[in-house]
């Protein structure tokens, strides 16, 4: 207890140095927490699950995947075609078509404030299949259920992400037309029936898949039966949720051997594998963040702390000599210096990481860093202990040498100089 | 706010000049300070341990910034050098990118015969292309390499014309693929299935080469990259490299070129996705763009088209560059602020060690401002040494290759997966030195002011 009081007294004795070291630690921990949050999210997104796995069916060779809509019905069931084949329940499947356009009919006026990309899907799939929405609880879940119910009743309904609604200047109940740029001449009218809960889907929107399909059919009727150029390419992805690896393999076999899916041929992969493939383009960037940026900042932080503690130790050599004369053992002096550094490091790290968590998640609405299909990242709860670990770890590394130097202060030498 | 942004943009666009002015200002401080610069320098030597730690921190922060900026610089260089000023890219109406474009075969011949297109030996310089992004599983690849990648495949009708249009050349010992697009594998039996003949961009040749297992690379003609005669597997076929393009520094370095009539149908895209026409100069390209886009209803009306001057098309793919640049700047600024606190610590310690020196200097008649300049110079000297070393270390990043993506962002259509060369140039180095000087200035300013405010009596007490 006395040692702790001594530690605190020493830190308070030079408040400027303590504050500067603490501020440097906080800033560096903030950056590293941000970097770690992005990396940990991407790592989680690409980690294979053993149970409750999601798989994606997509066109085998081409990007973007464009399959005929006729594939949808069978693929949603896991493509059973032989007696005894497994059949996936409707609640465990989802089809995706991507519809993009602008609220301005003039292509030259397209901007981030007019464009909209929508997932075209079965409304119920929003509650059962969409990542993060399927695990939603409490009032946000109830709000989403209400929006989904309205979408089921309203063919032209659209659920908007909050950021997207803000940039478009639309609120629930508003109607507007979107002029498509990937489905030429399929310009759709929408009515906003709800908003996504804040977070991952802030920039997204969702519409009914059957609305897009019926619009393509209507186009065909208006053009004497001629098919729309995108009619045979309007199914982009099919999602399936499967219980475990064994069932995943079985369904995979069904899909890959089913003779109905040959032109174009399809592939089936886990969601994590699909995400991982997209992230390949960013692999050097991610490598740089993981192995250059984060270590360099941690090392810089260690240097800053080491510098501060070194200065401290050098200025207090006489004090350490006096402590030795008073009976302090060398290890106690080493501990004293280490504890001073650790207290600053751990406290600053905790405050910084906690502050980053609250600021980024509650005020900023996530860390904006668009990579692949991820627009913004949130700081995980684990960041609280990251801060403690980073602050404490760098403080320890940075103070070991100065602490050792304090431990080895020779009383005779110090007093000889003083004399 | 707008004015501040304009000022910052001006300085950003003139970084080497800004650095020169900043260094002149530091030199000017040295000249007007009556306290000898050697005094400041010697003090750094005396406190070598803390000074070394501070310099090391500078080296890390600045080195990191240089590497990040070299990456972004490489991306900008890539999008800038990919386009030819006289070229116009023609896509289907409504298509924002080649991946989504489908041009009717019947329209293509008519477009190619329009006046204004440069002709060589009476043939129009028009590159007819089908661009597809292919999902390539990498079977039996090297440890630590990707298991799957998106390969950008460009099918062209006439490779010589396409290469002329894009300003690309084959490397020595390379040839273009045959008219059929297939050919026999070297040493294979006469009845063996022919291989798909392709030409690789310089960057992707390296990437594909690194996918091979170490034992395969050890026996290869070139361990670092695929060269003519090498093969790889895709779509249940063997692909034979018959040529490698010289590095152009553009997006074409990351592509695989083959025969359009073979590759298009192979990946479900029978039609052309893109026509690239060569006009005599940039001004004509603008006119042809307006003509094919049917601007003001006075142009081409046989088909609805989206025409873009090639240089503008690639400029439009710089949205990711901007995002990465902003990310790099934010990280650099935060790290620099952390570094500034470290410098402050060092300088406060320097002042507390030399309080008596300050008292003596004041008694000798040195003014407060001269004391301030002296300590500020010491801090700047620290910054210049650390910054220069950081820049020197960051220079090693020059020429490194990295994978990335360039895209037009939301509404800009698809992107391109690219292999880029990181570039450290004068502007990047100037940014590093400017950040170092800023850290030195702000890190030294408050301690210097505290030194300046000391009275001779207090200092000597």
B259 forms beta bridges with: B156
- From CA B306, how far away is CA A21, in angstroms rounded? 58
Comparison of pLDDT for B77 and B191, the residue scoring more: B77
Does any domain span residue B6?
no
For B323, the closest of A284, A299, A370 (CB atoms) is A370
Q: Does B354 touch chain A (CB under 8 A)?
A: no
Domain closes at, from B287, B315, B343: B315
Q: Does A102 touch chain B (CB under 8 A)?
A: yes
The two tokens of residue A250 are 């079985």
For A61, the closest of B57, B71, B235 (CB atoms) is B235
Which residue of A261, A274, A300 is the best one to mutate when testing the B interface, meaning the one whose CB has the most B CBs within 10 A?
A: A300
User: Quick one: B142 and B283 in the same domain?
Assistant: yes
Burial class of residue A242 (count of CB atoms within 10 Å of its CB; 0-12, 13-18, 19+):
buried
User: Quick one: A191 and A260 in the same domain?
Assistant: yes
Q: At what angle do helices A330-358 and A2-13 cross, to 10 degrees?
A: 70
User: Quick one: B142 and B31 in the same domain?
Assistant: no
Q: Does B402 touch chain A (CB under 8 A)?
A: yes
Does any domain span residue B2?
no
B152 touches B416 (CB < 8 A): yes
Q: DSSP characters for B10-71?
A: HHHHTHHHHHHHHHHHHHHHHHH-SS-HHHHHHHHHHTHHHHHHHHHHHHHHHHHHHHHHHH
Q: Among candidates B100, B113, B101, which has minimal Cα distance to B300?
A: B113
Q: DSSP characters for A316-362?
A: THHHHHHHHHTT--HHHHHHHHHHHHHHHHHHHHHHHHHHHHHIIII
Phi, psi of B246 (to 5 degrees): -65, 145
pLDDT band at B19 (very low <50, low <70, confident <90, very high): very high
Range of the domain at B306: 84-315
Q: Does A296 touch chain B (CB under 8 A)?
A: yes
What pLDDT sits at residue B118? 92
Does any domain span residue B55?
yes
Q: At what angle do helices B2-13 and B15-32 cross, to 10 degrees?
A: 90
Q: pLDDT for B334-384, tens place per residue?
A: 999 988 988 898 888 888 888 888 888 888 888 888 888 888 998 999 999
User: Quick one: B231 and B274 in the same domain?
Assistant: yes
User: Quick one: A124 and A90 in the same domain?
Assistant: yes
Does any domain span residue B358?
yes
The answer for residues whose C-beta is within 8 angstroms of residue B394's C-beta and 6 or more apart is: B62, B63, B64, B65, B66, B67, B70, B424, B428, B429, B432
A28–B335 C-beta distance less than 8 A: yes
The answer for residues whose C-beta is within 8 angstroms of residue B236's C-beta and 6 or more apart is: none
Residues 207-266 of chain B whose Cβ lies under 8 A from any Cβ of chain A: 235
The two tokens of residue B274 are 């893109």
| Residues of chain A with C-beta less than 8 angstroms from the C-beta of B404 | 281-282, 284-285
User: Quick one: A149 and A256 in the same domain?
Assistant: yes
Task: Give the helix, strand, coil percentages of chain B, each rounded to 5.
Answer: 55, 20, 30
User: Quick one: A236 and A301 in the same domain?
Assistant: no
Q: Among candidates A178, A71, A101, A219, which has minimal Cα distance to B100?
A: A101
The two tokens of residue A61 are 């060779």
Q: Among candidates B166, B201, B199, B176, which has minimal Cα distance to B276?
A: B166
- From CA A269, how far away is CA A252, in angstroms rounded? 8
- From CA A194, how far away is CA A409, in angstroms rounded? 70
Does any domain span residue B24?
yes
Q: Among candidates B260, B255, B211, B253, which has minimal Cα distance to B233?
A: B211
Sign for the pseudo-dihedral over CA of B16, B18, B22, B28: positive
| Residues of chain B with C-beta less than 8 angstroms from the C-beta of A306 | 53
B94–A181 C-beta distance less than 8 A: yes
User: Quick one: B47 and B101 in the same domain?
Assistant: no
User: Quick one: B432 and B341 in the same domain?
Assistant: yes
Q: Does B48 touch chain A (CB under 8 A)?
A: no
- From CA A47, how far away is CA A40, in angstroms rounded? 10
Domain closes at, from A264, A290, A318: A264
Does the structure show a pLDDT above 90 at B294? no
Does any domain span residue B377?
yes
Per-residue pLDDT of chain A (419 residues; tens, 9 = 90+): 677 888 888 888 888 889 999 999 999 999 999 999 999 988 888 877 777 789 999 998 888 888 999 999 999 999 999 888 889 988 899 999 999 888 988 766 777 788 888 999 999 999 999 988 988 889 999 999 999 999 999 999 999 999 899 999 999 999 999 998 788 889 999 999 999 998 888 888 999 999 999 999 999 999 999 988 888 889 999 999 998 889 999 999 999 999 999 888 899 999 888 888 888 888 888 889 889 899 999 888 888 888 888 888 888 888 889 988 988 899 999 999 999 999 999 999 999 999 999 999 988 888 888 776 677 788 999 999 999 999 999 999 999 999 999 998 888 887 776 55
- Residue A189 has a CB neighbour count (10 Å cut-off) of 12
User: Quick one: B112 and B257 in the same domain?
Assistant: yes
B188 touches B208 (CB < 8 A): no
Domain closes at, from A210, A234, A264: A264
Q: Among candidates B3, B79, B76, which has minimal Cα distance to B428?
A: B76
For B345, the closest of A28, A60, A308 (CB atoms) is A308
Phi, psi of A374 (to 5 degrees): -95, 120
Q: pLDDT for B81-102, tens place per residue?
A: 888 999 999 988 777 788 878 8
- From CA B73, how far away is CA B81, in angstroms rounded? 12
The two tokens of residue A366 are 């996530």
Q: Does B445 touch chain A (CB under 8 A)?
A: no
User: Quick one: A150 and A253 in the same domain?
Assistant: yes
B269–A308 C-beta distance less than 8 A: no
Does any domain span residue A374?
yes
User: Quick one: A100 and A226 in the same domain?
Assistant: yes
User: Quick one: A90 and A14 in the same domain?
Assistant: no
Nearest residue of A to residue B71 by CA position?
A: A285
User: Quick one: A193 and A68 in the same domain?
Assistant: yes
Question: How many domains in chain B?
Answer: 2
User: Quick one: B25 and B57 in the same domain?
Assistant: yes
Q: Does A315 touch chain B (CB under 8 A)?
A: yes
Q: Considering chain B, what is the average pLDDT of its residues?
A: 88
Does the structure show a pLDDT above 90 at B32? no
Does any domain span residue A205?
yes
Q: Which of A87-91, B218-222, B316-320, B324-328 has the lowest mean pLDDT?
A: B316-320
How remote is the C-alpha of A344 from its chain's centroid?
30
Does any domain span residue B292?
yes
- Smallest CA–CA separation between A331 and chain B, in Å? 24
User: Quick one: A384 and A350 in the same domain?
Assistant: yes
CA distances from A221 to A172, A181, A294, B94 (A): 32, 21, 58, 22
- Residue A275 has a CB neighbour count (10 Å cut-off) of 19
Q: Does A162 touch chain B (CB under 8 A)?
A: no
Q: At what angle do helices B319-353 and B48-81 cross, to 10 degrees?
A: 170
How remote is the C-alpha of B294 from its chain's centroid?
34
Comparison of pLDDT for B1 and B411, the residue scoring more: B1
* Rg of chain A in Å (alpha carbons): 30
User: Quick one: A187 and A226 in the same domain?
Assistant: yes
What pLDDT sits at residue A121? 95
User: Quick one: A320 and A380 in the same domain?
Assistant: yes
User: Quick one: B304 and B165 in the same domain?
Assistant: yes
User: Quick one: B409 and B334 in the same domain?
Assistant: yes
User: Quick one: B48 and B131 in the same domain?
Assistant: no
What pLDDT sits at residue A418? 58
User: Quick one: B66 and B197 in the same domain?
Assistant: no
At CA A283, angle to CA A280 and CA A284, rounded to 5? 140
Does any domain span residue A51?
no
Q: Does B414 touch chain A (CB under 8 A)?
A: yes
**Any alpha helices (H) in B293-367, and if so which ranges?**
310-315, 319-353, 355-363
Residue entry with tokens 């927490």: A33
B114 touches B127 (CB < 8 A): no
- Smallest CA–CA separation between A138 and chain B, in Å? 33
Q: Does A272 touch chain B (CB under 8 A)?
A: no
Q: Does B446 touch chain A (CB under 8 A)?
A: no
For A296, the closest of B60, B93, B409 (CB atoms) is B60
User: Quick one: A238 and A95 in the same domain?
Assistant: yes
Domain closes at, from B283, B315, B347: B315
What pLDDT sits at residue A94? 95
Range of the domain at A170: 62-264
Count A/B contacts: CB-CB distance under 8 Å.
171
A179 touches A102 (CB < 8 A): yes
What pLDDT sits at residue A173? 94
Domain closes at, from B289, B315, B341: B315
Q: pLDDT for B324-348, tens place per residue?
A: 888 899 999 999 998 898 889 888 8
Question: How many domains in chain A?
Answer: 2
What pLDDT sits at residue B413? 52
B427: Cα within 13 Å, side-chain hemisphere? 12
- From CA B214, how far away is CA B143, in angstroms rounded? 9
What pLDDT sits at residue A209? 95
pLDDT band at B320 (very low <50, low <70, confident <90, very high): confident
Does any domain span residue B140?
yes
How remote is the C-alpha of B51 from its chain's centroid?
34
User: Quick one: B167 and B253 in the same domain?
Assistant: yes
């Amino acid at each position: 207890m006395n040692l702790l009081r001594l530690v605190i007294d020493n830190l308070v004795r030079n408040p400027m140095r303590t504050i500067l070291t603490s501020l440097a630690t906080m800033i560096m921990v903030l950056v590293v927490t941000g970097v770690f949050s992005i990396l940990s999210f991407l790592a989680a997104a690409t980690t294979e699950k053993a149970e409750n796995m999601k798989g994606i069916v997509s066109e085998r060779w081409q990007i973007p995947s464009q399959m005929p809509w006729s594939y949808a019905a069978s693929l949603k069931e896991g493509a059973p075609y032989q007696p005894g084949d497994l059949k996936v329940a409707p609640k465990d499947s989802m089809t995706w078509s991507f519809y993009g356009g602008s609220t301005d009919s003039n292509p030259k006026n397209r901007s981030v404030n007019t464009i909209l990309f929508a997932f075209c899907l079965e409304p119920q799939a929003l509650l059962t299949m969409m990542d993060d929405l399927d695990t939603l609880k409490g009032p946000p879940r109830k709000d989403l259920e209400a929006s989904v119910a309205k979408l089921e009743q309203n063919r032209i309904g659209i659920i908007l992400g909050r950021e997207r609604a803000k940039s478009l200047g639309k609120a629930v109940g508003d109607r507007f037309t979107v002029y498509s740029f990937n489905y030429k001449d399929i310009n759709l009218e929408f009515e906003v029936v709800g908003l996504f809960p804040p977070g991952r889907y802030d920039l997204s929107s969702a519409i009914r898949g059957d609305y897009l399909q019926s619009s393509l059919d209507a186009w065909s009727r208006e053009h004497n039966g001629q098919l729309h150029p995108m009619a045979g390419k309007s199914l982009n992805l099919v999602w399936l949720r499967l219980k475990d690896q064994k069932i995943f393999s079985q369904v995979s076999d069904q899909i890959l051997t089913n003779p109905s899916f040959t032109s174009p041929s399809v592939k089936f992969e886990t969601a994590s594998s699909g995400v991982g493939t997209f992230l390949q383009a960013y692999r050097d960037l991610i490598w740089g963040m993981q192995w250059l940026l984060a270590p360099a900042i941690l090392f810089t932080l260690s240097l800053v702390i080491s510098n501060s503690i070194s200065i401290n130790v050098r200025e207090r050599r006489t004090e350490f000599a006096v402590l030795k004369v008073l009976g302090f053992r060398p290890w106690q002096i080493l501990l004293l210096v280490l504890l001073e550094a650790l207290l600053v490091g751990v406290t600053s790290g905790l405050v910084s990481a906690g502050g980053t968590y609250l600021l980024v998640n509650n005020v900023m609405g996530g860390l904006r860093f668009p990579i692949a299909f991820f627009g913004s990242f949130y700081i995980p709860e684990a960041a609280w202990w990251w801060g403690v670990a980073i602050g404490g770890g760098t403080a320890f590394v940075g103070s070991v040498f100065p602490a050792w130097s304090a431990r080895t202060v020779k009383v005779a030498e110090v007093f000889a100089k003083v004399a | 706010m707008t004015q501040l942004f304009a000022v910052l943009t001006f300085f950003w666009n003139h970084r080497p000049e800004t650095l020169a002015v900043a260094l002149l200002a530091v030199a000017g401080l040295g000249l007007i300070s009556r306290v000898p610069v050697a005094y400041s320098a010697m003090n750094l030597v005396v406190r070598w341990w803390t000074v070394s730690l501070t310099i090391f921190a500078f080296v890390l922060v600045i080195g990191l910034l240089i590497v990040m900026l070299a990456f972004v610089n490489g991306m900008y260089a890539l999008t800038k050098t990919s386009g030819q000023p006289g070229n116009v890219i023609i896509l289907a109406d409504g298509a924002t990118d080649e991946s989504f474009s489908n041009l009717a075969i019947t329209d293509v011949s008519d477009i190619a015969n329009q006046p204004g297109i440069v002709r060589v030996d009476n043939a129009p310089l028009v590159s007819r292309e089908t661009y597809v992004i292919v999902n390539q599983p990498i079977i039996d690849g090297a440890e630590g390499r990707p298991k799957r990648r998106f390969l950008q495949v460009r099918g062209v009708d006439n490779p010589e014309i396409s290469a002329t249009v894009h300003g690309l050349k084959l490397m020595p010992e390379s040839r273009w693929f045959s008219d059929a697009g297939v050919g026999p594998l070297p040493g294979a039996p006469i009845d063996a299935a022919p291989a798909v003949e392709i030409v690789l961009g310089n960057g992707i040749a390296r990437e594909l080469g690194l996918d091979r297992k170490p034992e395969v690379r050890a026996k290869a003609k070139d361990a670092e990259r695929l060269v003519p005669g090498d093969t790889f597997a895709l779509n249940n076929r063997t692909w034979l490299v018959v040529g490698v393009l010289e590095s152009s520094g553009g997006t074409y370095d990351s592509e695989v070129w083959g025969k359009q009539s073979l590759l298009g149908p192979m990946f479900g895209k029978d039609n052309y996705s893109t026509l690239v026409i060569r006009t005599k100069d940039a001004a004509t390209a603008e006119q042809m763009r307006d003509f094919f886009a049917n601007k003001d209803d006075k142009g081409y009306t046989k088909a609805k088209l989206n025409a873009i001057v090639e240089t503008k098309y690639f400029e439009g793919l710089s949205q990711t560059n901007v995002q990465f640049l902003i990310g790099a700047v934010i990280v650099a600024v935060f790290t620099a602020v952390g570094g500034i606190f470290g410098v402050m610590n060092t300088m406060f310690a320097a002042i507390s060690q030399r309080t008596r020196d300050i008292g003596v200097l004041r008694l000798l008649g040195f003014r407060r401002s001269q004391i301030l300049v002296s300590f500020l110079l010491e801090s700047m000297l620290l910054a210049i040494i650390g910054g220069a070393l950081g820049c020197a270390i960051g220079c090693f990043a020059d020429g490194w290759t990295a994978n990335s993506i360039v895209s037009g962002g939301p509404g800009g259509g698809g992107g391109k997966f690219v292999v880029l060369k990181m570039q450290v140039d004068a502007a990047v180095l100037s940014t590093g030195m400017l950040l170092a000087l800023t850290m030195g200035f702000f890190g030294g300013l408050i301690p210097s002011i505290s030194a300046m405010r000391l009275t001779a009596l207090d200092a000597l007490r």
